[in-house]
């Protein structure tokens, strides 16, 4: 189920028929899609299958507020790092680009 408020949404799933858990989100609704928040180190972006847009401060605050309210309503734990500010779904820092692939084992220099 998609829960929305003020242009922000999250996908909820039923848990044991009695409660709910957050399956995706929270994120901004852009062109009918729930956008993922991607952090590139210097800027956060809202990404959908239709494109990506720089996230504005007001959007990040709306996502943060909606997420806190939603966790409170469904009885989910509010984690410390999430309470400090908006967390991203994905972190893609430029300085880490190319580190995804395993490095080849390098021979250690011999000590005499």
With a cut of 60, say whether residue 103 has pLDDT above it: no
Q: For position 51, what pLDDT does the model report?
A: 94
- In a domain, residue 82? The reply is yes
Is pLDDT at 106 greater than 60 in this prediction? no
| pLDDT 10s digits, 68-80 | 899 888 887 766 5
pLDDT class of 110 with cuts at 50, 70, 90: low
Question: Is 109 domain-assigned?
Answer: no
What is the domain range of residue 15?
2-93
Within a domain: residue 108? no
Q: Is position 53 within any domain?
A: yes
Please check whether residue 102 lies inside any domain of the structure: no
Top pLDDT among 108 and 25 is at 25
Q: What is the mean pLDDT of residues 92-110?
A: 58
Q: Tokens for 79? A: 């984690």
Tell me the CA distances in angstroms from 63 to 83, 100, 111, one per residue in order: 12, 29, 54
Write out pLDDT tens, residues 42-68: 788 999 999 999 999 999 999 989 988
Q: Give the pLDDT confidence score for residue 20 in this predicted structure.
A: 85
98 in a structural domain: no
Q: Which percentage of the chain shows pLDDT scores above 90? A: 33
Number of structural domains in the chain: 1
What is the pTM for the complete model shown?
0.68
């Amino acid at each position: 189920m998609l829960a929305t408020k003020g242009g922000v949404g999250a996908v909820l799933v039923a848990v044991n028929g009695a409660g709910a858990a957050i399956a995706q989100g929270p994120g901004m609704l852009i062109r009918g899609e729930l956008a993922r928040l991607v952090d590139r180190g210097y800027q956060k972006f809202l990404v959908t299958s239709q494109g990506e847009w720089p996230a504005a401060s007001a959007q990040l605050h709306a996502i943060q507020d909606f997420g806190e309210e939603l966790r409170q309503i469904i009885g989910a734990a509010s984690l410390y790092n999430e309470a400090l500010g908006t967390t991203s779904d994905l972190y893609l820092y430029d300085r880490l680009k190319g580190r995804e692939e395993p490095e080849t084992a390098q021979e250690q220099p011999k000590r005499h």
